[in-house]
């Protein structure tokens, strides 16, 4: 899941925050 792509979704906001602490989340 890409934080930027899901940024529009509600769940995307949470992923965007985790992506900063965990960069590997972007590739997940």
Question: How far apart are alpha carbons 9 and 27 in whole angstroms?
Answer: 17
The pLDDT of residue 22: 59
The ranges assigned to domains in the chain are: 1-28
Per-residue model confidence (pLDDT) at position 4: 55
Assess contact for 12 and 5: CB atoms under 8 A. yes
Whether the full predicted model's pTM is greater than 0.85, yes or no, is: no
What's the pLDDT tens digit per position in 8-25?
A: 555 656 666 655 655 565
Burial 6-27 (b: 16+ CB within 10 A, else e): beeeeebeebbeebeeeeebbe
What pLDDT was estimated at residue 12?
A: 57
Pick from 22, 21, 28, 19: nearest CA to 7: 19
Q: How many CB atoms lie within 10 A of CB 3?
A: 19
């Amino acid at each position: 899941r890409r934080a930027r792509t899901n940024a529009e979704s509600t769940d995307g906001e949470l992923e965007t925050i985790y992506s900063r602490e965990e960069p590997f989340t972007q590739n997940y």
